[in-house]
Every structure is written in structure tokens, then in C-alpha cells.
Amino acid sequence: MSEETKGELVCNANDIQVKQALRVLIDDYPVAIVRDSMGDIHAIADTCSHADISLSEGEVEGCAIECWGHGSQFDLRSGQPLQLPAYDPVPVFAVTIDGDDVYVDVTNVVNGASVDHY
């Protein structure tokens, strides 16, 4: 598999602890790389759909991340809001793990959510 089909190399898997998130920029687009409670790695847009707040600064519990601003929670697999006040999903991007390298393809939105500013 070529790097082009994997997306952008964003970090090493060891850079992200369980229940933590890392903010990265891919072509100036903010993405949260998140390791859920089970240790799986996800990539979602790093901006809450309710307010212009970084999701990577929120808490991770199970397979969800909570926006610290108003308490909205998002499913890391689907991007769907699990808790109000957010009602729009956030984009979820394709992730490829190759060894310890984590690649994200922001051109491959796996949940069909609209991507602003890319």
C-alpha cells in the first residue's frame, strides 16, 4: 500500500495513550487523533459541530469524546452526537495503522459528514 493511498502520516501510535487525544493539522485542517478506552485509534474533525471548540481537549470515555465547552459528546466511530447541545455529526476520517505509524486520509470521510474548510 502506498503512502498516497494511506493518507498523511500524522504520528506514531505510541504518541497517543488510551483515553487521550492528539490534535494534528493536515493541510491546515484540524484533526483529533483519539485512542478510545479499548485502545483503538480514530480520526475525527477536531472542531465541535455545536461551537468552534477543539474536541481533542475533551475527555475520552468508551468510544466517545466530550467537548469541554458545552458537554456535547460524539461517537468516535460514527461522528454522531450522543449528547446535546450538538445535533450535527463531525466528520470521521479513514485511519491506517502501518506498524506503529498512523496515517489519516482527510479526503476519505467514512461517515459522510460534510467537511468544512478543507
Please count the CA atoms within 13 angstroms of the CA of 89 that sit on its side-chain side.
Answer: 17
Single-letter residue type at 1: M
Select the more confidently predicted residue: 44 or 5. 44
- The string over 105-117, giving b where at least 16 C-beta atoms fall within 10 Å of a residue's C-beta and e elsewhere, is bbeebbeebeeee
pLDDT digits (tens, 9 = 90+) for 93-116: 999 999 999 999 999 999 888 887
How much is the pTM? 0.91
Q: How far is CA 81 from the centre of its chain?
A: 13
Can you tell me whether residue 29 is helix, strand or coil? strand
pLDDT digits (tens, 9 = 90+) for 40-94: 999 999 999 999 999 999 999 999 999 999 999 999 999 999 999 999 999 999 9
With 70 as the cut, is the pLDDT of residue 16 above it? yes
**Which band of pLDDT confidence, cut at 50, 70 and 90, is reported for residue 4?**
low
3-state helix, strand, coil in the chain (%, to 5): 10, 45, 45
pLDDT digits (tens, 9 = 90+) for 33-47: 999 999 999 999 999
